[in-house]
Structure 1
Amino acid sequence: MRNNWVVKDLRERIFGNMTFDEIHIWNTNLVALDPSAVLSSKDRLESLTISHSLLEEFPFRVLPRMTRLRTLHLSHGFLKSVPALESPSLKNLLLWNNEIHALEPRWSMPVLERLDISHNPISDLPPGMVEGMRNLMSFDASHCNLGPVLRNGSLAFQSKSLAKIFLQENDIVKLEPGAITGLRNDTRLDLRGNKIRNLTEGSFRPMLEHLSSGTSGFIFLWGNPVICDEWLVRSPDFKKFLQRLEGVECVSKSSKSPAK
């Protein structure tokens, strides 16, 4: 359904006995839908999209029963909160550009590969939110309100496939030790456009140690007022750590010229 400005809700049993593999709703005045509208396809539906609409509510509680659902795309709407989500099948959860300000803890999404909650006024990530996502490849919480301090335990990743973390434009000034854990040696962490000044040892050394054991993992820091901390420029691992940092210019104590 596209460019429909008449339908404002999908009422109970609106589809009758019809079932679908995919449902795509774009550019509408849809505000809400009855759980039965999607449950009628619970054994068949693989992809559900509602985007560029007026969606304020979604029956997230039906997800455990949607056993074939792989992609849930709810972007450019007016969702304000998201409960603890549970899905045995979901691989892509896309919630960007809503008005989400709160996320509840204790999510259970063991096969999720991509989570996008960017461009929402989220100010806090519930502890343990990503811990059970053991197949997560991409996490995007850019352009939210996670600063000024990203707290210990905010992002404790446990996925062996983690490739990309997007946290740019969050007004982050400081990462507490343990704020981001579980990086692989090929993970790319994007912190561009924040307000990070100090690469504090307790926060950044553990991440750099993981990344420096590989060749394709980086921390991107362009657009931050970064000053190289003393521990970094004096570290015997200075050169290999610096190779994992993009957007940072440091001078080693043993060098008279910038290393980058």
Structure 2
Amino acid sequence: MSSSMMDFQHRQQNSFALYLLVLLAITMNSNVVNAQICPDPGMIYPCVCDISGMGKMNMFCEGITSTTELESLFMQDFPDNNFHILSIDNSYLDILTSGILNSKSFEEITIWQSGLQRVDFGALNSSYNTLSIIRMDVNTLVSFPFEELSFYTNLIRIDLTGNTLTELSTIASDSLEEFFLETNLITHIPVTTFRQLPNVNTIFLGNNTIEEVLSGTFTGQPNLNILTLNNNRLPELLAGTVELHGPDSRLIFSNNNISRIEPDAFR
């Protein structure tokens, strides 16, 4: 074999070896970066942080004992303030106070079975531009700032199922698609409650104590195609109560006290 051919083979081998070294370095560096993104475990106990396969940070908390403990946790400086998921389960948080998450932002927030009673205006203000899902089900909520929903520019879904809310106010959101408020203590729905939700397609209000739905309450939402009002106390359905859109629309009014349905109640 000629010396030139041997030199060519050596160069190829060296190039391939260099490629492997660079690839290994990139992989190791990526792991180091990932390890550095999450806060130190000791800072956030009893919460834990992990990084998903998509490279997004998630924080999972169980056993938080008070609002003060959660507030102190988020007052600390983290290497990165931008998270994907915050999930708080089986804890005790009576109140989410304004600014409690400090400068940490999330795309999805779940608080489940944690005794939450009140959410103050501005509690999640660091996530106005990032939140797509708010889920606070199976708590004891008596107060929630519905009037703040218009500030969440990417909010798609809100789920407050299984609480003790008694009142609804006007809700405005250009992005909201799904609204779940089943199994609460709602007795009355103001006629303007859902008027400013151009993209809402799903509204669940079953298992409350709603005694009346005024004409026009569920009209004017151009994308609404699923509405549930089962297991309430409705005695009648007035003309112009509901207007659904789409071939797969669903309307559920079972288990009420309905004895009269006016013509054109449904459109």
Q: Same fold (TM over 0.5)?
A: yes
2:138 corresponding residue in structure 1: 76
Distance in 2 of aligned mates of 1:166 and 1:39:
37
Q: Tell me how far apart the structure 2 counterparts of residues 144 and 2 of structure 1 sit (CA, whole Å).
A: 30
What residue is the counterpart of 2:213 in the other structure?
150
> Aligned residue for 1:30?
93
- Any residues of structure 2 matched to 1:8-87 within 5 Å, and which? 8-9=67-68, 10-11=70-71, 14-18=74-78, 19=81, 20-42=83-105, 45-62=106-123, 66-83=128-145, 84-85=147-148, 86=150, 87=152
Q: Please give the secondary structure, in 2, of the residue aligned with 1:48.
A: strand
1:29-80 deviation digits (Å, cap 9, x = unpaired):
12123333334123xx100111101111213435565201000001111211
1:92 aligns with 2:92: no
RMSD: 2.2
Q: Is the contact made by 2:66 and 2:92 (CA closer than 8 Å) also made in structure 1? A: yes
Amino acid at match of 1:72: I
The sequence identity of aligned pairs, in percent, is 20
Return closer, same or farther for 1:167/1:98 CA change in 2, 3 Å cut-off: same
CA deviation after TM superposition for structure 1 residue 154, in Å: 2.3
Q: Is 1:143–1:169's contact at 8 Å kept on the other side of the alignment?
A: yes
Look at both structures and tell me which one has the larger radius of gyration over its CA atoms.
2
Between the two proteins, the alignment pairs up a number of residues equal to 200
Q: Is the 8 A contact 1:4 1:27 kept in 2?
A: yes
Match for residue 235 of structure 1? none
Q: Say whether 1:6 aligns with 2:65.
A: yes
Change (3 A) 1:14 1:58: same
1:177-256 equivalence runs, <5 A: 177-204=239-266, 207=267
Counterpart residue type for residue 128 of structure 1: T
Give a deviation string over 1:93-148, Cα, whole Å, max 9, x none. Answer: 0011111001222x22111111001111111112222222121121100011112x
Write the letter of the residue equivalent to 1:166: T
In 1, distance between residues paired with 2:213 and 2:193? 14
Amino acid at match of 1:7: S
Task: Give me the whole-angstrom Cα distance separating, in 2, the residues matched to 1:2 and 1:61.
Answer: 21
How far did residue 3 of structure 1 move? 4.2
AA at the equivalent of 2:263 = E
Aligned pair in 2 of structure 1 residues 63, 125: CA closer, same or farther (>3 Å)? farther
Q: Return 5+ residue gaps in structure 1 as ranges.
A: 208-260
- Which whole-Å CA distance do the structure 1 matches of 2:64 and 2:123 have between them? 26
SS for the counterpart of 2:122 is helix
TM-score by length of 2: 0.67
Q: Distance in 2 between matches of 1:151 and 1:139?
A: 16
Higher helix share: 2
Q: Which residue of 185, 189, 196 corresponds with 1:125?
A: 189
Q: Which runs of structure 1 show a deviation greater than 6 angstroms over 4 or more consecutive aligned residues?
A: none
